[in-house]
Amino acid sequence: MPNSSGPILKIDHMQMRYPRSHHWALDGLSLSVKAGERIALVGPSGSGKSSIAKTILQLLPSGSICKGELLLMGQDPRKLVPTKLRQFRSQAVGLIFQDPMTRLNPLMSIGEHLLDTLKGHQPKTSRKWRKDRAETLLARVKLDHARFSAYPHELSGGMRQRLAIALAIAHNPPLIIADEPTTSLDVVVADQIMSELTNLCDELNSALILISHDLSLTGRWCKNTAIIDHGQVIEQGTSSDLLRNPKSLLGKKLLHAARSLEGDISPPKPNRKIVLEVENLRCWHSQPGLPWHNNWLKTIDSVSFQLLEGECLGVVGTSGCGKSTLCRSLIGLSKIRGGRVILKGENLLNLKGNKLKKAQKSLQMVFQDPLACLNPKMTVKDAISDPILIHEQTTISLAYERSRELLAQVGLNPAEEFQNRLPRELSGGQQQRVAIARAIALKPKVLICDESISMLDAEIQSEILMLLRELQSNLGLAILFVTHDLKVAAGFCHKILVLDQGKVIEKGPANDLFNSPKTKITKLFSQTCPRLP
């Protein structure tokens, strides 16, 4: 272990360029991190935050150019041969990814992941020692020993992230890098994960680099913050100072965007016409059990609500409460066991064939991950034109013309610059704008947004919410807005429903529910929402 007074990590005037790229991903970046220090790296998409982590670990594609000073525990990882570098990485750095499933092998049990990691870097230890150490690691991240033989798909998102933390601290590394570790988690689970992670860092005296787009989250858990842009540190200081009075133009823009997500953006009053009415909706799934005994998983259990023209209704709840199942059932992707879904006066459950297909045009969805819902081999204009050609039986030329109009409508101007690109050639915010354009191509009356901004940085989140509000005003859209962030729902929605175990446990005007919650779960959501000072 290095001396506690010296830096664990020292980067000075670092330049890094990926192969076939014409610009520096890191351009003169300098950063120093001491033992036990917690520092957040924030900045817009493409600013170079994740490139910093890749450079530290030398997880760069062959042909990358890396110049400048880089010292990790007093060593330059670039000078190590591959076998020594792999060993050094595991001893020096624990890495926690945004999506733990990208690291976990679906064919290996939880225990096997830990045992494999321990054996790979400490091969001379006995199996008993490795088994005891694995069980100790599970206990430290508050995972039940009974999960030792479980597989990743049998764990919730929060449990998988706990396992990722256990793997990261397996060798007591002096530095832990967490790259957007809570993006896909609800605020209650995110608070638990960050609490456990920071406590473990304190126990091990490990430094923490937290890469995040959430200023309120970084302000809560990190003493220091560095703002990154174009591969440089443009502002650095204590988190409290940066969140109160940033000096840089970008810092001020990020803070303004973050505050706009927390504040009431005064949504216009909805029209009083009911567009969608859900009555006693039930989505029950049969589980294995005794032949004479029905064992039902009540994912959605007697949920009822009304959605007015021009209204935004927020749906909030912990992971596994049924939010996504509710969305999927409304658009026909999950089986409905009972109740009524009345869209524009027609019960969708009574319709079949072409009548159902025609009715469902009025109900469209924007998913959490735009890259996952767009065909990677289809250009932007083809992706947007596809539903138009399927449902409206028009010509390709007219469909393409309509796609260009939609691109302009969602702020991708000039449309000709974007129409021939593939999804991977767009930024995350641009991908989500394309997904929204595709969703409104059929002129729906109801737009369902399932965690549609959770993977974006604060500035892009604010832009997408403003776009949705503008589209809602211009098109008269009713929006069902599903989110795990109660403060965003309170600022964007007229009303909020809180789900728990498939039931609506609380509902009411957005600001009232956020400021004066009645149920235990809603109070917990309100208390654990990180807020700006």
pLDDT range class, residue 491, cuts 50, 70, 90: confident
**Torsion angle, alpha carbons of 373, 345, 311, 372, to 10:** 0
Last residue of a domain, one of 216, 231, 262: 262
Q: Does 240 share its domain with 278? A: no
Instruction: Please name the helix (run of DSSP H) or strand (run of DSSP E) that holds residue 227, with its range, or none.
Output: strand 224-229
Within a domain: residue 388? no
- Of 71, 492, 87, the closest CA to residue 316 belongs to 492
Q: What is the pLDDT of residues 220-274, one digit of tens each?
A: 999 999 999 999 999 999 999 999 999 999 999 999 888 887 765 556 677 789 9
Tell me the torsion sign for CA atoms 153, 331, 454, 390.
positive
What's the average model confidence in pLDDT over 130-138?
A: 93
Within a domain: residue 460? yes
Q: Does 194 share its domain with 279? A: no
* Residue 91, C-beta contacts closer than 8 angstroms, at least 6 positions apart: 121, 171, 173
Q: Does 87 share its domain with 141? A: yes
Give yes or no for a contact between 26 and 211, defined as CB atoms under 8 angstroms apart.
no
Count of domains forming the chain: 2
Q: Does 354 share its domain with 478? A: yes
What's the average model confidence in pLDDT over 418-447?
A: 91
- Of 143, 137, 97, 99, the closest CA to residue 117 belongs to 137
* Residue 456, C-beta contacts closer than 8 angstroms, at least 6 positions apart: 45, 213, 428, 429, 432, 464
Cα 203 from Cα 442, distance rounded (Å): 55
Q: Does 110 share its domain with 224? A: yes
Q: Does 181 share its domain with 281? A: no
Q: What is the pLDDT of residues 271-284, one digit of tens each?
A: 789 999 999 999 98
DSSP-derived 3-state class of residue 511: helix
What's the average model confidence in pLDDT over 522-527?
A: 89
Q: Tell me the whole-structure pTM to 2 decimals.
A: 0.78
- The DSSP string of 337-361 is -EEEEEETTEEGGG--HHHHHHHHT
- The DSSP string of 294-315 is -EEEEEEEEEEEEEETT-EEEE
HSE-CB at 240 with a 13 A cutoff on CA atoms is 1
Q: Does 154 share its domain with 283? A: no
pLDDT range class, residue 3, cuts 50, 70, 90: very low
More confident residue, 402 or 267: 402
Tell me the torsion sign for CA atoms 174, 180, 181, 182.
positive
Q: What is the pLDDT of residues 434-482, one digit of tens each?
A: 999 999 999 999 999 998 888 787 788 888 898 999 999 888 899 999 9
Q: Does 105 share its domain with 247? A: yes
Side chain identity, residue 413? N
Q: What is the pLDDT of residues 240-251, one digit of tens each?
A: 999 999 999 999
**Looking at residue 80, which CATH number applies to its domain?**
3.40.50.300
Cα 225 from Cα 218, distance rounded (Å): 8
Residue 13, domain extent? 7-262
Q: Does 187 share its domain with 281? A: no
Within a domain: residue 209? yes
Q: Does 236 share its domain with 291? A: no
Report the pLDDT value the prediction gives residue 322, as an integer from 0 to 100.
87
Mean pLDDT, the chain, integer: 89
- Could you identify the residue written with the tokens 């890098």? 177
Last residue of a domain, one of 206, 231, 262: 262
- The DSSP string of 243-293 is HH---SHHHHHHHHHHHHHHS---PPPPPS-EEEEEEEEEEEEEE---TTS
DSSP-derived 3-state class of residue 12: strand
Q: Reply yes or no: is the peptide bond before residue 414 cis, omega within 30 of 0.
A: yes
